A and B are shown apart, each in its own frame.
Chain A
Amino acid sequence: MNPIALTIREILHRWKSGLLVALIVATITGALTYFSVNNAGFQKEIARNARDIGSNVVIIPAELDQFQYHSDGSYSDVTMSADLVQQLIEYKASLNHLIPMLERKAECVFGEKTATARIVGLSASIPMPGRPKAPMQKSIQDGKVQLGSKLADKLGIKRDETPEIQINGEYFFVSRVNRANGTWQDAAVFLDLKTAQSLFGVQNQISRIEAIECTSEQCELTGLKSDVVLANELARITDKALILRLEKMAAARSNIRVISRDNLRLLQNMLWALLAIAIIALSSLNSFQRKSEVGVLQALGYGQWRVVILFVSRAVLLTILGAAIGIACGAFVALMQSQSLFRVTGSKLTIDWQAAIIVGVVATLLAALASSLPALTAAMRYPAEIIGKEN
């Protein structure tokens, strides 16, 4: 009789234990798949939140008086060449989301009201080649400005209004009044970098470059700390700029990512261990419990490999069934939940089929291995030794 036909008969006969095995495998593979899909969303959301903490690196002109710069609330009229941005990109510095800025203080006029404010010209954030990311800063339309909320209050402009204001003698439409964020930005005007350069007559000049550090790879490679890695890189590019690392912000960003990554890795490893233990225990238990059957089949002329196929096919069939149910349910629930859990990135999540296939294949291989070893060991002995002495 065909071993597969025998296996199906056995599964149908002991359907309760077969169902239990399939359900346990489904639960664990489901949890692993759910975790895998959910993990992708969680990582994206953490990365997005960490990015939104803001830039943690500032590159300023080397000739700048840092005492004055800090005294003036991170402001200076001193500029440097905007070519530095291109040099950093060509060098592939350990940075991302580069935002070159030009800052000046100027009078803003709206009707009868005037206010002297920081005018910030900036470009959209520039991703480093090979590190593509969603933009951290979008470009501002030419001829339009965005106002900080307190400056808008001072000029008497309400949030839903888009009037024309005058800056340094030129007129600009207000495209948006930003929400208050509790920093100097609430009292500033934002416009496109090139527009600002033209407005203040400083072509190809910038006051600073804000960026996010991406030093983990270099730190691991060189064993150096982030600030040393960045300073070394900049020193190789130019001597006309220096780098300031916003220590607390950089540490917070790094800690969030490291803690969440380590925590997720621990959880994932635990789930893999659980899957391995459950499958090995269930598959080998079945083979151990049916040892006397091995002896009987041998006595009836079933060779070692036919006996092993009988036991392996049972474990593999039930594991494939359980894994298919688990992966489908786990992925479906994770996708449904991610929409509400991760409001921004959740809708973009997709099932990682590669991870799902790995879960299924590993589970099946474990089942095959765990069931084959006891069956093979039993099949190598004399039938009477397995069936047991009767008298």
Chain B
Amino acid sequence: MDSVLQVESLAHSYTANGKQLQVLRDVNLSIACSKMVAVQGESGSGKTTLLLACGAMQKPTSGKVLLNQRDVFDLTPAARSQFRASQIGYLFQTLQLVPYLNVLDNVRIVKGVTAGTAKQWLERLGLDDRLHHKPDALSHGQRQRVALARAIAHRPALVIADEPTGNLDGKNARLVFDSLREFADGGGAVLIAAHEPAIADFADRILHIKSGHLTESKAGV
């Protein structure tokens, strides 16, 4: 089966307080379509760095990130921006909703998303009575679901979700996992960072990251 995401020999380091810190070391990863892959690890283990590199949000020190066979860091900034918008849905850990747009428009802001599609996803995530509220009028959990809707509404090839269920109760966390599973079952690929044990019920594979090294605890099918 062809890989949607192919990560080859990825490494990343940066300098802080005069010290060189190696965050990722020789990471190799492949996610095929219809697969949901979870990454777990302690805080500071490099999860977010891995997700940002896979989402073409941050250039790694070395290695390749291929999305649908294209090296995202070989593209020009303008082409990468277009490619990222069409192929990747990214759910930031800090959500990053646009504060001056209402819930519906925060989803519609993504290119190619109609009002109908946005509404459909928001209703699916239990936000049908919050469509015209601005983010500051929502609870954190509601904002997380809006960010999730924004990440998947345009049907990208890959959805990357960084701790999408932090601060959510069990019921809402399952709702989010369920939506991502449904997205994967529809042909998309999902890369998710999550601590919750419940992720095991949804993910095809669970990877662990420690000191920049990636290991696998639940092998995929």
* Chain A residues proximal to chain B, CB less than 8 Å: 1, 6, 9-10, 12-14, 292-293, 295-304, 380, 382-385, 387, 389-391
Contacts and interface: CB of A to CB of B under 8 A. Distances in A.
Nearest to A306: B81
Contact of B108 (A1, A9, A303): A1
A299 B111 contact: no
Contacts of A300: 85, 109-111, 150
Contacts of A292: 96
Given A303-B78, A391-B44, 4 more contacts: A299-B96, A300-B109, A301-B86, A391-B49
B75 interface: no
B62 interface: no
Contacts of A390: 48, 92-94, 162
Interface of B: 43-44, 47-49, 52, 55, 57-59, 77-78, 81-82, 84-86, 90, 92-94, 96, 98-101, 105, 108-111, 134, 150, 162
A387 B134 contact: no
A293 B98 CA distance: 7
Given A296-B96, A387-B96, A389-B48, A382 B85 contact: no
Contacts of B96: 292, 295-296, 299, 387
Nearest to A5: B105
Given A301-B111, A382-B57, A391 B82 contact: no
B52 A384 contact: yes
Contact of B92 (A1, A301, A303, A387): A387
A12 B134 CA distance: 13
A301 B81 contact: yes
A387 B57 CA distance: 10
Contacts of B162: 390-391
A196 B82 CA distance: 92
B109 A1 contact: yes
A301 B113 CA distance: 12
The 6 closest A-B pairs by CB, nearest first: A301-B85, A13-B100, A384-B58, A391-B48, A384-B57, A296-B96
B57 A299 contact: yes
Nearest to B46: A391
A297 B57 CA distance: 12
Contacts of A304: 77-78, 81
Contacts of A295: 57, 96
22 contacts: A1-B109, A6-B100, A9-B101, A13-B134, A14-B100, A297-B98, A298-B81, A299-B55, A299-B90, A300-B109, A300-B150, A301-B81, A301-B82, A304-B78, A382-B57, A382-B58, A383-B58, A385-B58, A387-B92, A389-B49, A390-B48, A390-B162
Contact of A296 (B48, B84, B98, B100): B98
Contacts of A383: 57-58
Contacts of A303: 78, 81-82
A300 B106 CA distance: 10
A372 B110 CA distance: 23
A13 B105 CA distance: 14
A81 B78 CA distance: 83
Nearest to A298: B81
B94 A387 contact: yes
Contacts of B84: 299, 301
A293 B82 CA distance: 17
B45 to A, nearest CB: 8
A299 to B, nearest CB: 6
A391 B134 CA distance: 27
A389 B12 CA distance: 13
Contact of B100 (A9, A297, A389): A9
Contacts of B150: 300
A300 to B, nearest CB: 5
B120 to A, nearest CB: 19
Contacts of B110: 300-301
Interface centre among A292, A293, A296 (most CB of B within 10 A): A296
A1 B99 contact: no
A8 to B, nearest CB: 10
